[in-house]
Amino acid sequence: MVATTPTTTVPKKLETLEQYKEFLDKFDTFLLDCDGVLWHGSTLIDGIKDTLDYLRSQGKNLVFVTNNSTKSRSSYVKKFNSLGIDASEKDIFSSAFATAVYLRNILNFPADKKVYVVGESGITDELKAVGIETTGASADNGKHLEHTDLGTFEQDDQIGAVVCGFDINVSYYKYAKAYKYLTKEDVHFILTNNDATFPTPNGFLPGTGSLVQPLINALDRQPLVMGKPNQPMLDCFFSNYHTDPARTCMVGDRLDTDIDFGLQGGITTLMVQTGVSSEAQAMDPNQPIKPTYIIKSFGEFIKTRQ
Amino acid sequence: MVATTPTTTVPKKLETLEQYKEFLDKFDTFLLDCDGVLWHGSTLIDGIKDTLDYLRSQGKNLVFVTNNSTKSRSSYVKKFNSLGIDASEKDIFSSAFATAVYLRNILNFPADKKVYVVGESGITDELKAVGIETTGASADNGKHLEHTDLGTFEQDDQIGAVVCGFDINVSYYKYAKAYKYLTKEDVHFILTNNDATFPTPNGFLPGTGSLVQPLINALDRQPLVMGKPNQPMLDCFFSNYHTDPARTCMVGDRLDTDIDFGLQGGITTLMVQTGVSSEAQAMDPNQPIKPTYIIKSFGEFIKTRQ
């Protein structure tokens, strides 16, 4: 949807105050990945709070982007506030909210249809907020099939889409229902994000992109994937926020998700070195995914306040 | 393990009494697929009971082969008896029993190690019968993780293998545990069968090969697949029954599972036309999987009783 060609040249390093100011002048809106950019787990990265406050005082629009679909934007606001960062719902763009925007603005989801959700309250709350009725999710937690029930469980004829996100209460009951709905070709199949695993305090565990695999394998059908690095999330962003793509910059710590997300959408990207990817990786001539700019930390921009 | 080259020539049609007798004289052991060969659902195919009785009276060894891992052999005996077919445990070769044989005879699974099972009692009963201790399966039914538990759930250091089969009580708790065990490279990863879906009275539903996908996707690791058409099941068969491969014939109704299973293992195959695949498919010059012989029904052999 954006005409600019992704950069394949060497990333520009931002190192001096003058370079910081010149960079900031180019953009009105920053899309900010959270973990590795703003915080590590529950610890804010140095200088972040002051930087965010200062950029806002300069009229910059800051939008926090997350693939996590388990929380609604209002729940995220609480997480931001608990870390001392001001945020309201309009500042948060999650894969669950993007899914709601997609169904409402892009698919024009019919008013007489419902969505079956394999996922958590982040999805059902956001769909409800745009006026879309849901079934499944927590309403199906604890429901169980016996082998003798397999041919007889009830189905809802009004289902027009199945949305899958992370669901810690996933079950054969939910898989079987979702599968049956999705055997109808006109039922949309949407995945909030495709992350194979996600980090926990005790290492990685299977993520949304893994939990959906039984459906993909049984149906031999691929879902539309919403979250980073896939483009529907960016399409939904511009459909909802109407910012100028040429003055919008994606900021992230991972080349394969955040930076690829911005590059594929043809917007400028800034890689910070406070998370997963390193300067050496970004500068590697064999690295196909290169950010437009790199900087040590997003917190560096506080230095432009004088 | 068997030297014969799979046939690629035109299948021989068995149509006359003389052809039936000549065929039967070549074999001592018949491996029989069940659904589509012996019965449809819970209805026996014409002539089957009398044929099985007669072939046994002639000294033939009949072994029933199934990919279904949810029932133990003793439970299968009850199903056979309820349909009027004589059977004892030694006559039944299921993917769950094959898995037990594999762990015991082929892997020499250590006595101080246990198996974590995502599956049902068919697996745990068969492993117990060969002296292998299990955890998981029904013992983990109903167990649940909260988001706050994800880094802290208990693990068992004695796990030496994870066996996955169909589990109608599959859960995030089971996936997370199995994933953690399988991140250790020396923990074996075994799948009873790879069927993407299975038939129910109300159409297909996701099967074992689909339910295991979250682990495969999150681990980027492939399991050893036991069941038809994969060869470990046939290796385990010969490891357990010690029949002469040259005088053993695989009988089935599906080219892509039963016949491929026999062909890959280098044994003779007989396709019956009472199930999924047709004579036209078997005779198609573009069909890469061709049985050695085809016959209308396994029940035809009753005509050799005079």
Among A202, A214, A220, beta carbon nearest to B151: A202
Partners of A92 in the β-ladder: A64
What residues in B contact A225, CB-CB < 8 Å? none
Structure confidence at residue A172 (pLDDT):
97
> Other C-beta atoms within 10 Å of A302: how many?
19
CATH fourth-level superfamily of B102-225: HAD superfamily/HAD-like (3.40.50.1000)
Which positions 73-132 of B are in contact with A (Cβ < 8 Å)? none
Instruction: State the pLDDT confidence band at A3, using cuts at 50, 70 and 90.
Output: very low
pLDDT tens by residue, A262-290: 999 999 999 999 998 999 999 999 999 99
Structure confidence at residue B306 (pLDDT):
80
Structure confidence at residue B41 (pLDDT):
79
Q: Is residue B7's pLDDT more than 60?
A: no
Question: Which of A110-114, B237-241, B293-297 is predicted least confidently?
Answer: B237-241
Question: Which of A7-21, A146-160, A190-204 is predicted least confidently?
Answer: A146-160
- Residues of chain B with pLDDT > 90: what percent? 88
Q: Please say whether the beta carbons of A290 and A7 come within 8 A.
A: yes
Structure confidence at residue B2 (pLDDT):
47
Instruction: State the pLDDT confidence band at B3, using cuts at 50, 70 and 90.
Output: very low
The answer to whether the peptide bond before residue B229 is cis (omega within 30 degrees of 0) is yes
Give CA angle at A99 (A93, A101), nearest 5°: 75
Sort strands B197-200 and B203-206 into parallel, antiparallel or unpaired.
antiparallel
B172 in reach of chain A (CB within 8 A): yes
pLDDT tens by residue, A42-91: 889 999 999 999 999 999 999 999 999 999 999 999 999 999 999 999 99
What residues in B contact A167, CB-CB < 8 Å? 172
Distance from CA of A120 to the nearest CA of B (A): 11
The rounded distance, in Å, linking the Cα atoms of B61 and B251 is 13
Residue of A nearest to B151 (CA): A202
Amino acid code (one letter) for B235: D
B152 in reach of chain A (CB within 8 A): yes
pLDDT tens by residue, A146-177: 988 887 777 899 999 999 999 999 999 999 99
Instruction: State the pLDDT confidence band at B85, using cuts at 50, 70 and 90.
Output: very high
- Closest by CA to A96, choosing from A119, A114, A63, A113, is A119
Structure confidence at residue B305 (pLDDT):
93
What dotted CATH number matches A97-225?
3.40.50.1000
Structure confidence at residue A152 (pLDDT):
75
Mean pLDDT of B122-145: 96
Q: Is residue A5's pLDDT more than 60?
A: no
Residue of A nearest to B171 (CA): A171
Q: Tell me, what's the ipTM? A: 0.91
Structure confidence at residue B191 (pLDDT):
98
The mean pLDDT value of chain B amounts to 94
- Residues of chain B with pLDDT > 70: what percent? 97
Structure confidence at residue A155 (pLDDT):
84
The rounded distance, in Å, linking the Cα atoms of B55 and B295 is 16
Mean pLDDT of B220-232: 96
B215 in reach of chain A (CB within 8 A): yes
Which positions 184-213 of B are in contact with A (Cβ < 8 Å)? 196-197, 200-207, 209-211, 213
pLDDT tens by residue, B257-281: 999 999 999 999 999 999 989 999 9
A224 in reach of chain B (CB within 8 A): no
The mean pLDDT value of chain A amounts to 94
Structure confidence at residue A297 (pLDDT):
98
Burial B115-132 (b: 16+ CB within 10 A, else e): bbbbbbbbbbbbbeeeeb
- Which residues of A carry out catalysis? 33, 35
Q: Is residue A99's pLDDT more than 70?
A: yes
Q: Where are the domains of chain B?
A: 12-67+230-304, 102-225
Mean pLDDT of B156-162: 96
A183 in reach of chain B (CB within 8 A): yes
- Closest by CA to B13, choosing from B291, B287, B227, B306, is B291
The rounded distance, in Å, linking the Cα atoms of A222 and A232 is 15
Sort strands B39-40 and B43-44 into parallel, antiparallel or unpaired.
antiparallel
> B12-67+230-304 and B102-225: same fold?
yes
The rounded distance, in Å, linking the Cα atoms of A117 and A139 is 10
Mean pLDDT of B169-193: 97
Among A169, A202, A210, beta carbon nearest to B217: A210
DSSP structure class, residue B186: T
In sign, the C-alpha dihedral spanning A20, A21, A27, A31 is positive
Query: What's the CATH architecture for A12-67+230-304?
Result: 3-Layer(aba) Sandwich (3.40)
Residue A130 tokens, joined:
């745009």
Q: Is residue A7's pLDDT more than 60?
A: no
Flag whether A253 is marked binding: yes
Mean pLDDT of B185-199: 94
DSSP codes joined into one string, B153-164 = ----TTEEEEEE
Distance from CA of B97 to the nearest CA of A (A): 20
Structure confidence at residue B8 (pLDDT):
59
